[in-house]
Amino acid sequence: MAKMTVAARLGMGFGAVLALLGVVALIGLFSIHTLNKDVGRLHTDLFPKTIWANNIVDTVNEGAQALRNALILKDPRAIARELERIGEMRKFIDENAEALKRTIVSPEGIKQLAALTDARSSFIGSQDRLIALLRAGSRDEAGDLLFGEFRALQQTYFNAVTSLIKYQTDLMDKTGDEAELNADFATLVMLILSALALLLGIGTGIWITRALTKQLGGEPDYAAAMVQAVSAGDLSHTIAIQPGDTASLLASLKQMQEGLRRLVGEIAAIVQAATRGDFSQRLELGDKQGFGREIGEGLNQLAATTEIGLKDVTRVANALAIGDLSQTIDRDYPGLFGETKNGVNGTVTALADVVNEIRRIVDAAVQGDFSARLDLTGKQGFASEIAQLLNQLSDTTEVGLKDVMRVASALSEGDLTQTITQDYPGLFGETTTGVNTTVANLKELVLRIREAVETIGTAANEIATGNQDLSQRTEEQASSLEETASSMEELTSTVKQNADNARQANQLAVAASDVAVKGDDMVGASVETMTGIAESSKKIADIISVIDGIAFQTNILALNAAVEAARAGEQGRGFAVVAAEVRNLAQRSANAAKEIKTMIGDSVSRVDAGTLQVNETGQRMRDIVQSIKRVTDLVADISAASVEQSTGIEQINQAIVQMDDVTQQNAALVEQAAAAAEAMADQASRLGEVVAVFKVDPVDRRAMVARSAPTATARRMSAAPARKSTLASLLPIKTTDDDEWSEF
C-alpha cells in the first residue's frame, strides 16, 4: 500500500466514491421510474374516469333543468328547443359511458358500472314517457310524472354515478399513497448511500494527503513555491525540512540549491571582474563535478579568448578615434572573433577610400563646380549610402541654384511668367516657395493695377454719360412738379367730401347694429323656451317607457304565479283567477302605455322640428348681426382713412417744395461731376503707362478680365447712385466740396 503511486491511490479512493454515487443514481432512477408510472396511471387512467363520471352527473342535471323549462314554457318552439337539448345531452352521456366501459377492468369497477347502466336504463325510460307527454300537451300528467316517478329514478341514477365516482377517487388516493411511500423509501436509501460516499471520500482524501506530504517533505504549496523560486534563479530562500529527512523532494531540492549557490557565487565574481575590464579571473576546477566542471572549463576558455581579442579591437578603435587609419588587426581568430577582425579591418579600408573621394568633391564645390560625383562602383553598406547621399546633395544643389538663377534673371527684365516648377525638400523647398510666392504676388499686383486702370477709364465714361442723363431728368422733373401741384388741389376737395359721407354712413350703421342685436336677443329667448319644451317631452316619454316596463314585468310575474297555481292543484285555483285578472290589467296597462308613448313620440318629433327651425332662425339673426357689425367697422375704417388722406395731402405739398430745392442742387452737382471725370481719365492714362513695362502670362490676364467683366456690366446697367458707389470704392478722389458729393 505504501508503494502505490499517487494515480493508483486517487483512482482507488475516488473509484469507490463514484461506485457508491452510481448506486445512488440507479436507485434514484428506479424510484423516478416507479413514481412516473404511478403518476401516469393517475393521469391517463384514474383521473379521466372520474372526469367522465362527473360529466354524466352534470349532464343529467342540465337535462332535468331542460325538462322543467319545457313544463313551464308555453311557446311550442321554445319547448321543442329544450327537448332537442335533451337529445344532445343523451349523446354526450353515451360517449362518456362508452369511455368508462372501455377503460374500467377491475371487478369492483365493472360491478359499479353495471349498476350505473341499469339505473340509466330505467331513468331513460321514464324520461322518454315524460317527453312524450310534453309533446302531446299533457302538462298536468307530465308534472305528476316529473315530481313523482321520474324524480325517484333520477335519484337512483345519481346514487349509482356517485358510487362509481367515489370508487375511482379511492383508487386515486390509494395510488397516490403508494407513490408517496416509494418516494420516501428511495429518499432514505439515497441519503444513507450518500452519507457513506461522503465518509469514504473524506477518508480517502486524508489518506492521500498524508502520503503526498511525506513524499514531498512538506505542504505541496510550499514545495511548489520552492521549486518555482529555484527554477526562476532565486537561490536566496532557506528550504525547511523535517529532521532526519534525506529522501523527500524538498531534501533533494535543498542539496541542489546549495550546489548552485556556490557555483553562481564563483561565476558572479568572474563576471564582476569582467565588468571592471579584468578578464584575468578564472574558476577553480578542483571541487567541481559534472555540469559544474564543464561550465567552469568553458567560462575559463571564454575569458582567455575575450581578453586577447578585445585588446586588439581596442587598439584599432583608439586609432580610429584620433583619425589614424593605419592601424589594423594582424592576429588570426576563429569564429566570431575572426569575423570581428575582418569587419574592423574592412571598416578602416572603406573609411580611407571614402575620405579621399569626399575630399575631391569638396575641392570642386569650393571652386563653384557642382558637377563632380562620387563613383558608386564597388561600394557597399555605409560607404555606398554616403556616396549616394553626397551625389544627391550635389544634384539638388546644382538644379536648385540654376532654377533660382533663371527666375531672378527673368524678374530683373520685368518677365513675371517664369517660376520654379520642380519640387525640392527642406530648405530648397522653402526657397522655391518663397520665390514662386514673390512672382505670384508681383503678377497679381500688376494685373490688379491694370484692372483698376481699365475700371477707372470705364467709370469716367459712365460718369460723363450720367451727367447728360441727369441734366435731362432735372428738366423733366421741373415740369412734373407743376402738373403735380394742380392735381393736388383737386384731390384735396374730393377727400374732404368723402370724409363727410363716411361720417353719415357710420352713424346709420351703428343704429342698424343696435336694432339687429335686440332682435338676436329675442330669438335667443325663443330658442331657450323651445329647448325646455323638448326636454319636458322627452322626460314624459321616459316615464311612459318605465310604465310600459312595469306592465311587462307584472305580466311575467302573473304568468309565473299561474304556473305555481297550476302546480298547487285545487288549492291554487283561486290564486290562479287572481293571477289571470292581474295579467289582464297588466296587458291593458301596457296597451295604454304604448298608445301614450306613440302620441308623446309624435309630440317630441314636432317639438324637435320646431326647435331646429328656431335654432336656424337664431343662427340667421346672429349672422345678420355679425354682417352689420362688419359693415359698421368698414364704414369707420373709411372715415379714418379719409382723415389720413387729408393729412397725407398736406405732407405731399411739403415734399413738392423740397423736390424743387433738390432739383436746383442737382444742376450744380452735374458741373462738379464733369470736372471729376476729366481728372480721373488723366490719372488712369498715366498709371497704364507705368504698368505696361511688366510682362504677364496671357492666360492670367484673360482670367482677370473674365472676373472683372461681370462687375463692369453691372455698373453700366445700374443707376447713377450705383456708379458713384463703384467709383468711390476704386479711386476715392478728394474734392473741394465733400458735403455736396455725399448729398448727391
Rounded Cα distance, 547 and 216, in Å = 109
446 touches 694 (CB < 8 A): yes
Mean pLDDT of 346-361: 76
CATH of 282-412, one of 1.20.120, 1.10.10, 1.10.3470, 1.20.140: 1.20.120
pLDDT score, position 721: 44
pLDDT score, position 674: 67
Rounded Cα distance, 341 and 331, in Å = 8
- In this predicted structure, the answer to whether residue 177 has a pLDDT above a threshold of 70 is yes
pLDDT score, position 636: 74
- In this predicted structure, the answer to whether residue 255 has a pLDDT above a threshold of 80 is no
pLDDT score, position 228: 80
Q: What is the pLDDT of residues 485-507, one digit of tens each?
A: 667 667 667 767 776 776 776 67
- In this predicted structure, the answer to whether residue 583 has a pLDDT above a threshold of 50 is yes
Write out the three cell numbers for 251.
Answer: 531534501
Rounded Cα distance, 333 and 346, in Å = 16
User: 225-228, long-range: CB within 8 Å, 24+ apart, which pairs?
Assistant: 226/250, 226/253, 227/253
Residues near 595 by beta carbon (within 8 Å), at least 6 away in sequence:
none
Nearest to 311 by CA among 296, 324, 298, 330: 330
Rounded Cα distance, 671 and 679, in Å = 13
AA identity, residue 484? T
669 touches 737 (CB < 8 A): no
pLDDT score, position 683: 75
Rounded Cα distance, 87 and 150, in Å = 17
Q: What is the pLDDT of residues 17-45, one digit of tens each?
A: 788 778 777 877 777 767 666 666 665 66
Mean pLDDT of 260-289: 76
Residues near 536 by beta carbon (within 8 Å), at least 6 away in sequence:
none
263 touches 292 (CB < 8 A): yes
Confidence class of residue 732 from pLDDT cuts 50, 70 and 90? Answer: very low
pLDDT score, position 715: 47
Mean pLDDT of 131-150: 83
pLDDT score, position 716: 44
pLDDT score, position 735: 42
DSSP 570: G
pLDDT score, position 574: 64
Mean pLDDT of 659-688: 70
603 touches 533 (CB < 8 A): no
pLDDT score, position 727: 31
Q: What is the pLDDT of residues 398-441, one digit of tens each?
A: 777 777 878 888 777 777 788 888 787 777 788 888 888 987 88
pLDDT score, position 725: 38
Residues near 740 by beta carbon (within 8 Å), at least 6 away in sequence:
665, 668, 669, 672
Rounded Cα distance, 157 and 151, in Å = 10
In angstroms, what is the C-alpha Rg of the chain? 66
| β-strand partners of 695 | 415
In three-state secondary structure terms, 695 is strand
Rounded Cα distance, 218 and 254, in Å = 13
Rounded Cα distance, 348 and 319, in Å = 10
Confidence class of residue 530 from pLDDT cuts 50, 70 and 90? Answer: low
221-241 residues labelled b (16+ CB within 10 A) or e (exposed): eebeebeebbeeeebeeebeb
- In this predicted structure, the answer to whether residue 647 has a pLDDT above a threshold of 80 is no
Q: What is the pLDDT of residues 507-526, one digit of tens each?
A: 776 676 676 666 667 666 66
Mean pLDDT of 114-133: 85
**Sole residue written with cell 566542471:** 293
What are the distances in angstroms from CA 500 to CA 215, 495, 614, 641, 696? 134, 9, 41, 12, 79
What are the distances in angstroms from CA 578 to CA 75, 585, 618? 23, 11, 58
What are the distances in angstroms from CA 531 to CA 203, 525, 541, 619? 103, 10, 16, 15
Greater confidence (535 vs 168) lies with 168
pLDDT score, position 614: 64
Rounded Cα distance, 445 and 99, in Å = 115
Rounded Cα distance, 66 and 75, in Å = 14
pLDDT score, position 4: 63
Q: Give the H/E segment covering residue 76.
A: helix 76-103
**Sole residue written with cell 290589467:** 585
DSSP 106: S
Among the listed ranges 268-272, 374-378, 691-695, which one has the minimum average pLDDT value? 691-695
Q: What is the pLDDT of residues 58-69, one digit of tens each?
A: 888 888 888 888
The DSSP line for 238-279 is PPP--TT--SSHHHHHHHHHHHHHHHHHHHHHHHHHHHTT--
Mean pLDDT of 452-474: 73
Question: What is the number of residues in the chain?
Answer: 744
Among the listed ranges 18-22, 372-376, 571-575, 593-597, which one has the minimum average pLDDT value? 571-575
379 touches 357 (CB < 8 A): no
- Global pTM reads 0.29
- In this predicted structure, the answer to whether residue 57 has a pLDDT above a threshold of 70 is yes
DSSP 415: B
Beta strands in 548-591 (DSSP E): none
Q: Domain locations in the chain? A: 6-214, 219-238+247-273, 282-412, 426-743
Greater confidence (371 vs 738) lies with 371
- For the domain bounded by 6-214, which CATH number is listed? 1.20.120.30
Is 6-214's fold the same as 282-412's?
yes
Rounded Cα distance, 422 and 80, in Å = 115
320 touches 351 (CB < 8 A): yes
What mean pLDDT is reported for the chain? 73
Greater confidence (102 vs 226) lies with 102
